[in-house]
Chains A and B, each alone.
Chain A
Amino acid sequence: MINLDLPVVQFTREQEEFRQEVREFLAEEKKKGTFETKCDSWLSGDSPEFSKKLGEKGWIGMTWPKKYGGGERNALDRYILTEELLAAGAPVSAHWFADRQSGPLLLKFGTEEQKEYFLPRIARGDTYFAIGLSEPNSGSDLASLSIRAERTDGGWILNGSKIWSSGAHIAHYMIVLCRTSKLDPNNRHAGLSQFIADLKAPGVTIRPIKFLTGEHHFNEVFFDNVFIPDNRVIGEIGNGWKQGMTELAYERSGPERILSTFPLLEELIRILRENGDYRGMQEAVELLPQLWSMRNMSIGVAKYLDDGVDVNIIAALVKDMGTIFEKNIAEKARLIISRHPSVLSTDIYERFMAQSILHGPGFTLRGGTTEILRGIVAKGVVAG
């Protein structure tokens, strides 16, 4: 049987103080009008100014070595910061992927030159990355991807396209997973490599794709004979699949898989309290055991990841259950306090409700669909 127990994490006094510091900062910024709370702000709240502010505080790449602009803090400090940002619905999407994924990937597999060049820029909050995995014909079946690179003098020539690239229109770079040798039907994961593509390079075209609300969050990115110099290859040629997979547990188990709609829940509780609505409150608190246990799981995974323990299966579970919980908040709230949700409303409860419902479909798709995650979990427990 796989290990079902996760470590119990108790935050230290310093960590609790740090949490207070983050809270005070966010309250201050909100008061100054720097940002407005939003649901799903890690995908739809981009504010380069806010990202730079976090960079100045040392709150991007905070676990990385100091020589690369990091703060050498531990993973739990970062966890605290992240969940505070999400609970406040702060606009963190600009630097989100660079901080969560691209930076750590470079730290693990990048060359010294890449680390020295990219990490400090990311940590300052002025260089953003997009994730280049999905393609029009390769979603869940990622290994079928067809974008390919051919060897040339001093580098590679990239041709093909990526789709659903969140924030690519404000990002500077994209980490592209592509084919560097012919597809081997018996080993589809072989022959894939990871490149850092400069999104301003000649041959790159970014086409916006409107989200169902009409907003612009994701894009289709076309690569037409784009030159990738050798020094922008990440890790080893042909090892792209393995390298990419090591980051999945980070991607799937973070607080953003639980808290995307938290501002709505916070507002619901506030209104119920204000109205002295005890019955409504009793219904609302039924959400809390889920929230609390999911959060404990997520923190446990964060601790294990920091200790180097393999937790892919539990990470998949956090994402599956956490994203369903995120959707559930709106479904429950609408029956406890019934109002008409609208993105145009001046009432924040109605607005948060609209954001939660309209963004909801994406929660259980992005980062691996529920169906695919359940396959991973089932296979994992059966294999033991």
Chain B
Amino acid sequence: MSEAFGYVYPNHEVFWGILIVIYPYFVSIITGMVTIYAISEFWRKELKPLEKMILVGTFPFVLSALLPLLLDLGQPQRAFEIYVTPNFSSVMAVFGIVYLTELFAILGELWFVYRVDFIWWSQTERNPIKRLIYKILTLGVYDISKKAIEIDHKVIKVLTFVELIAAWCLSYVSFLFGVVKSNPWWNTTILPVSFVFGGLAAGGAMVLILYLLFSSYYGKRVDEKIIDIISNYVFFFLLAAFALEMINTILYAYKEDIAWAVIRITSTELAVPMAIAVIGSLEALLFLRYSRMVSGALKQIMVVIASISVLIAVFALRWNMVIGAQLVDYSLRGYVSYTPPLFGKEGILAALFVIAAPFVIMAIVNYFLPPYEKEVEETEISRPTTSVSEA
């Protein structure tokens, strides 16, 4: 039977490759991290110690979210056209504006959160170049009165809100990558919701990993309570995403409608990503659940394993959405298969480069805006803090 496939509709091609998978993936991670940030800002004051770290972690992802799209463009030098000739009736085109909102919100957030530190560093930093940079970043205002800091906190709240909305809108744009293809399996009302929940889980997992990394880099004690709170969120986000996907699929199987035909046709092509998504999610759910009952190194190992599986499983889900949606012909008479090439602009190496980019940027951001102080450093003058109660 398979002989007949592959050429029945030969004009059918996979245009969106692995890079377009990475784009919604990054956006998911951004959405998740921003949401955890908002949670720490609005509800769970216990997560406050993480706020700078989450910002330092999110900012590089926001910066590099455009990278896969740029690499995918045939003529990257024309990318600015979306601003020069804006089209407000296209959600895809409005993406540029949403992205800028997100970028500026997070830049503003960084500035307000680090403002007191800038002032402190501009006085104490030994490296003259760094000191100059901090001096410029203070914008010439050295006001650390209680009132000024209170205003900072209000502004930060507003910016967090803007950032949260922008991040969720970005998510919306990126699941369009699946819906635009409009094959029955992916053309469902549940997709946006399960997409966002998957993203929240991925972002939370990224926060967990970064928290452990930053803590060991700065020699800080890992606070198990923080890990518990976040892994609890990740657990429920992942559970929601997983349950929604499953309900959807079971509903299709029960109705045996057109979408079920699509699932059956593609199941051979998508077997590996689907298996990764299902097994990865289940395993992560188990580990997250039981990590709460242990403590110490074992807990950290379990959380790291779970977080990595969440990240991989969500990547597999994005793969299913972007690539999978393109594999089936609209007439359901055949499918094409897709293996990314190793080299070239859209190859696996380029994809690895893109995935590594945020971490490289993160190291640079961390150099200029360290979220914590090294535990060994000791200064005589007591350092001003950003929190009102202590100031």
Same complex origin of A and B: no
